[in-house]
Amino acid sequence: IFYQVFPDRLARSGRVEAPGELEPWEAEPSTHGLKGGDLYGVVAHLDRLRRLGVNALYLNPVFTSASNHRYHTDDYYAVDPLLGGNAALRELLDEAHARDMRLVLDGVFNHSGRGWWPFHHVLENGMDSPYRDWFYLSNEVRDGRRAISAFPSEEQMAEIGRRHAAGAPLGTVSREILGYEAWWDLPALPKIDLHHPQARDHILDVSEFWIDFGIDGWRLDVPEEIGADFWREFRTRVRGANPEAYIVAEIWHHKPEWLQGDMFDAFMNYPLSRALLGFAAQDRLDPAVPLPHEYEGRIRAYDGEGLWAEIQELERVNHPEVTAVQLNLLSSHDTPRFRTFCSGDLDALRLAVLLQMTLPGAPCIYYGDEIGMAGSADPDCRRAFPPDPAEWEREPFEWISDLAELRHSSRALRDGELSLLGTSGPAIAYLRRHGDEAFVVVANADADACTWDVALPVSAGDASVVPIRGGAAEGRSVAILDGTLRIVVPGRDGMVVRLS
């Protein structure tokens, strides 16, 4: 069970001296402001996260950078001093591993920041720099007819905008206007030419360096924009250093060709996230919340049958071994928070977590969802975690930790067989089974209570509702009648039923 940390926003430890004034912790996050969270602050949360049921961390980028999110890398071998440097990551790893928790870092290898020292070398030395071929430079720059415009004028940025509006492909405009190709034509993000042997080997060495340092895997940013041959070599290097390393890719849609066992273990499972959102939210979806462009036209309400169809599609396109290790998230740094999508409705979040914790794959909790944090599109979804527990909502932590504890204790809920028992309008019941262990999971997204009978494909003499805090105070019940399970579940509620 993963916990995603945005390092600048979880906690200030007081152990890292700020070089100057920081953005106030309690203020709304801005696009460029830094709050001053650090990795020692993450260490201070580890015991709380263990109580939540977390046994793996996924950290957004930690390497030196000129941005608060650190997707603009300046040095791939150095943890940002604002986060405490390499010593802070060493302590975090040691403390996490002492608690049997693993840690995955975010690898941004398609592009660097313009402060990355090879790019800076080209800025200083032009075509005399031996690093010139590590980047996609225009012919004019290569021929010495113009210099790179790494800090373009307002007029140049306006021209980039005009060409985008006219339909020019992303990434091509910057090479002509700036003199180098930048990711999405953003000047701060020069694209790295990983076909160049030395540039390629540099990044591959980085991937192995941090595995040797002790990290347990990589989350990979925009990997589709890098050739498959690179990722095959990447996997060989990483798995050679640690055969158990987890490699998860940021790919938002079905792309089974990337999950054939030679590149990535899993994707960030945004298709499942969208389906759970459509099912759990129902008519509570807030149309005013801005959608990530990958979500546009893909969010709609699902009844139980529609949700099961989406789950089946995920199982159809992927190997069972892939489905079992997908990173199943509800919120992330790139989307509004799940609760905000659902107009602030905690019932919707609870239903989604119930499904997330009982379906195949690795659940991932975005920092703050366990205390009910809200947040719209970036940067609002990256608010600072409130340090005062009096500001935390208690309920989400309770039902997440109960479900996590149940999942950890159950082989059936972690990797058992999955089968549908039935649907009833906006309600669904499915079975997780491994050997003699079996659970029925029921979720009712309707406002009204639901009662229905479903046939059990396994013999069971008794059925009992597993105690999970949250939801209706009363009204849940199950009974076995002649091999049929009679389910009663209140509106906007769910439950886990143990068969014996």
Annotated catalytic residues are 221, 250
The two tokens of residue 460 are: 């069971």
Cβ–Cβ < 8 Å for 16, 40: yes
Structure tokens that stand for 212 in this block: 């040797």
Instruction: Enter the DSSP assignment of 111.
Output: B
Closest to 89 in 3D by CA, of 61, 116, 117: 61
Question: For residues 268 and 492, what is the distance between their CA atoms, to the nearest angstrom?
Answer: 27
Q: Which has the closest alpha carbon to 289: 252, 229, 342, 330? A: 342
Residues 6+ apart with CB under 8 A from 497: 439, 440, 441, 442, 463, 464, 465, 466, 478, 485, 487
Nearest to 389 by CA among 365, 372, 401: 372
Give the Å distances, CA to CA, from 276 to 129, 306, 419. Answer: 51, 10, 17
What distance in Å separates the CA atoms of residue 339 and residue 350, rounded to the nearest whole number?
A: 9
Q: Does residue 184 sit in helix, strand or coil?
A: helix
CA distances from 460 to 351, 437, 497, 499 (A): 26, 10, 12, 6
Residue of 421, 423, 424, 425 whose CA lies nearest to 301: 425
Q: In this structure, is the dihedral angle defined by the CA atoms of residues 108, 189, 62 and 398, taken in order, positive or negative?
A: negative
Instruction: Give alpha helix (H) positions in 152-269.
Output: 154-165, 172-177, 197-213, 228-241
| Rounded Cα gap, residues 443 and 307, in angstroms | 11
Helix/strand/coil for 173? helix
Rounded to 10°, the helix 39-52/85-98 angle is 20
Report yes or no: 245 and 239 within 8 Å, Cβ to Cβ. Answer: yes
On whether the CB atoms of residues 273 and 342 are closer than 8 A, the answer is no
Are β-strands 73-79 and 63-65 bridged in parallel, bridged antiparallel, or unpaired? antiparallel
Q: Answer yes or no: are the C-beta atoms of 478 and 486 closer than 8 Å.
A: yes
Report d(CA 437, CA 177) in Å as an integer: 63
Strand locations in 45-137 (E): 56-59, 63-65, 73-79, 102-107
Name the burial class of residue 294, with classes exposed (0-12), middle (13-18) and buried (19+) by CB atoms within 10 angstroms of its CB: middle
CA dist., res. 57 & res. 101, Å (int): 7
- Which tokens sit at 360? 């195949």
